[in-house]
């Protein structure tokens, strides 16, 4: 008879544990998605990494210390999962260099203004001609040497750097204007 009671109590504890986890996950998942969107090139990538981070968090939920920040704990898991994902897709032309990832991760881990800037950056990049957008994204891809890209384009290094500088300025001006209009 004690065995049945212990099984029911264990099942009840498991149900409570699951409910606590789901409530915390639902509360923090939107911010985690925004954080990951700043690190990953597409929403599909964000979905995949969010799901993986949620699974890892569930598996490690027994290790979570009550009274500490679940959001911070989940962000840490999500960041590591994003880095693992990045390594898996490292050959993709849309992956940022490691130092850019670290910078984006630091800035995205709590600053909503970064989320706003990234959203506007995506909008402004989409407004560029496809060839200009591809060129700008290409020079920000991991392992790309601007000198080589300049040579391949048939431009001198100095001329190529000027082109990239102008494109960056166009995008920056667009982002700033877009944010200003949104806040007006």
Whether pLDDT at 37 is above 90: no
Count CB-CB contacts under 10 A for residue 24.
17
pTM score > 0.95 for this model? no
**Per-residue pLDDT tens for 138-168?**
877 767 777 888 888 888 888 888 888 898 8
The whole-angstrom separation of Cα 11 and Cα 3 is 12
The encoded tokens of residue 42 equal 């597409």
Q: How far is CA 135 from CA 21, 113, 160, 163, 165, in A?
A: 44, 26, 10, 10, 12
Domains of the chain: 1-110 (1.10.1740.10), 112-184 (1.10.10)
77 within 8 A of 122, measured Cβ to Cβ:
no
């Amino acid at each position: 008879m004690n065995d049945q009671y212990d099984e029911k109590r264990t099942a009840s504890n498991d149900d409570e544990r699951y409910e606590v986890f789901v409530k915390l996950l639902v509360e923090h998942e939107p911010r985690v998605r925004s954080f990951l969107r700043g690190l990953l090139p597409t929403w599909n990538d964000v979905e995949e990494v969010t799901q993986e981070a949620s699974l890892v968090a569930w598996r490690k939920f027994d290790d979570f210390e009550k009274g500490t920040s679940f959001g911070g704990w989940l962000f840490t898991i999500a960041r590591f999962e994003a880095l693992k994902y990045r390594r898996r897709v490292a050959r993709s032309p849309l992956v940022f260099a490691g130092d850019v990832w670290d910078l984006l991760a630091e800035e995205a881990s709590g600053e909503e203004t970064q989320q706003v800037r990234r959203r506007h950056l995506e909008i402004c990049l989409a407004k560029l001609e496809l060839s200009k957008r591809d060129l700008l994204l290409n020079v920000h891809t991991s392992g790309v040497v601007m000198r080589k890209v300049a040579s391949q384009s048939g431009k001198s290094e100095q001329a190529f750097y000027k082109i990239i500088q102008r494109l960056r300025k166009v995008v920056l001006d667009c982002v700033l204007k877009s944010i200003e209009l949104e806040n007006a």
